[in-house]
């Protein structure tokens, strides 16, 4: 009889810490979103007032709409630029293009570099005054750019930098899915005389769709929570004409930077979090309904 309760010894420590620091905060943030707590003193319930402010306040609403718009724009980039790029590169490794081992090693490398150092490198390359790019353009006699100070370039450069730094993880997940494709199928295709393109079109592509679905749903969550790069490169104000403003940066600005009413309003910050979370949830849900069609029955 004693043995039956032993699992509690194993599970309880993790369960307690996980509940306190991972699950409880989610509940707590929802509770806070209905208050106007400043962080000190009494807590007042204000109902849905915070949510009203988010969508109707003449100063805040456009700002937030712009940020959400940027989030969605970035999400589109994840779907139609970053993920296809990752898929393509992973397939190139799979068909063993020349020097693929070296390329694989180097393409994944930036993934282990911290976002601040990557931003530092971005500055070295794109800084308008001292950056390499303007240096090179200047010595070639071409006109220099303002890069992150240019509203046409800022967002594109951000996506480029993210591709450089973090596409390695998705590439590796696609790649390990490709190489786990059963050898029999590959051999059979060979015996049947499939050419490269046919093998991709009729075997590898359909078989990789389930893994695409799981990668896309994970990267969607990250896309909607993006913070580090736009914050470090564009600052807490959202970069040049708000091109690098994202929901999370708005949240940070208003919660820890107290940009509304010049006082910290944690309740308001919490409600931004909740709206963010709802948007995230809705998109992930709709997406999973669409992607489910690609899952094959096993």
Partner 1 sequence: MKSKQQDIGGREVYSSRVKVLRALISAILILYTCITIFVIVTTLLDSFKGKGDLISNFIGFPKAVVLDNYKNVIRNDRFLLYFFNSFILTFCGTAGCILLSAMAAYGIARYDFKGKNLLTSYFLIGMMVPIQVSVLPLFLILRKIGLLNHRLGMILVYISGISMSCLVFQKYFSTIPRSLEESARIDGCSDSKIFWMIILPIAKPVLFTMALITAVQQWNDFYMPMVLLGNKNVTTLTLAIYRYLGQFAKYMGQSMAAVIITLIPIIVIYFLFSSQIVEGLTGGAVKE
How many residues touch partner 1 (CB under 8 A)?
91
Stretch that binds partner 1, among 48-56, 71-79, 117-125, 237-245 (CB under 8 A): 117-125
- Residues 107, 89: contact at Cβ < 8 Å? yes
CA distance 231 to 165: 16
Q: Which of 145, 149, 210, 257 binds partner 1 (CB under 8 A)?
A: 210
* Nearer Cβ to partner 1 (61/207): 207
Query: Which residues have a Cβ under 8 Å from the Cβ of 174 and sit 6 or more positions away?
Result: 86, 87, 90, 91, 208, 211, 212, 215
List the one residue from 97, 185, 188, 286 that touches partner 1 (CB under 8 A): 97
State the maximum Cα–Cα separation within the chain, in Å, rounded to a whole number: 83
Q: Which is nearer to partner 1, 83 or 119 (CB)?
A: 119
Q: Which stretch binds partner 1 (CB under 8 A): 45-53, 70-78, 148-156, 165-173?
A: 165-173
Q: Which of 41/58 has CB closer to partner 1?
A: 41
Task: Check residue 270 for interaction with partner 1 (CB under 8 A).
Answer: yes
Rule CB under 8 A: say whether 172 interacts with partner 1.
yes
Q: Tokens in use for 107?
A: 């393409």
Quick one: 7 or 58, whose CB is closer to partner 1?
7
Residue 116 binds to partner 1 (criterion: CB under 8 A): yes
Residue with tokens 């969605």: 72
35 binds partner 1 (CB under 8 A): no
Contacts of 258 (CB under 8 A, 6+ apart): 264, 265
| For partner 1, the closer CB: 58 or 103 | 103
Contacts of 265 (CB under 8 A, 6+ apart): 36, 37, 38, 254, 255, 258
251 binds partner 1 (CB under 8 A): yes
Distance from C-alpha of 294 to C-alpha of 205, rounded to nearest angstrom: 11
Which residue, 69 or 135, has its beta carbon nearer to partner 1? 135
User: How many other CB atoms sit within 10 Å of the CB of residue 221?
Assistant: 12
Whole-number CA gyration radius for the chain = 24
Choose, by CB under 8 A, the member of 48, 76, 113, 188 that binds partner 1: 113
- Do residues 217 and 104 touch, judged by C-beta distance below 8 A? no
Q: Which residues between 52 and 81 bind partner 1 (CB under 8 A)?
A: none
We find the least distance from the C-beta atom of residue 238 to partner 1, in angstroms, to be 16
Choice from 211, 230, 244, 283 touching partner 1 (CB under 8 A): 211
DSSP string, 199-217: HIIIIIHHHHHHHHHHHHH
Nearer to partner 1, 23 or 282 (CB): 23
The one among 8, 42, 140, 262 contacting partner 1 by CB under 8 A:
8
Q: By CB under 8 A, which span of 5-13, 41-49, 51-59, 62-70 interacts with partner 1?
A: 5-13
CA 75 to chain centre: 8
């Amino acid at each position: 009889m004693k043995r039956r309760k032993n699992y509690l010894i194993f599970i309880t420590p993790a369960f307690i810490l996980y509940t306190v620091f991972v699950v409880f905060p989610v509940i707590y943030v929802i509770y806070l979103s209905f208050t106007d707590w400043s962080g000190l003193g009494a807590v007042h319930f204000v109902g849905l007032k915070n949510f009203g402010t988010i969508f109707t306040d003449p100063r805040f609403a456009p700002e937030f709409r712009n940020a959400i718009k940027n989030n969605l724009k970035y999400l589109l980039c994840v779907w139609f630029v970053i993920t296809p790029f990752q898929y393509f590169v992973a397939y190139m490794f799979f068909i063993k293009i020349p020097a693929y081992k070296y390329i694989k090693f180097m393409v994944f490398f930036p993934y282990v570099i911290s976002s601040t150092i990557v931003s530092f490198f971005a500055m070295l390359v794109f800084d308008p005054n001292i950056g390499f790019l303007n240096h090179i353009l200047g010595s070639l006699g071409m006109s220099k750019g303002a890069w992150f100070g240019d509203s046409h370039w800022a967002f594109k450069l951000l996506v480029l930098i993210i591709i450089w730094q973090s596409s390695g993880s998705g590439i590796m997940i696609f790649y390990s899915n490709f190489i786990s494709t059963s050898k029999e199928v590959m051999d059979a295709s060979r015996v049947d005389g499939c050419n490269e393109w046919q093998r991709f079109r009729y075997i590898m592509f359909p078989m990789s769709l389930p893994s695409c679905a799981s990668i896309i749903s994970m990267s969607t969550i990250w896309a909607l929570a993006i913070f580090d790069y736009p914050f470090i490169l564009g600052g807490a104000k959202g970069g040049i004409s708000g091109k690098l403003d994202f929901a999370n940066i708005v949240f940070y600005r208003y919660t820890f930077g107290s940009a509304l009413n010049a006082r910290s309003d944690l309740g308001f910050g919490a409600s931004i979090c909740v709206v963010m979370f709802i948007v995230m949830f809705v998109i992930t849900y709709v997406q999973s309904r669409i992607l489910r069609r690609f899952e094959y029955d096993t």
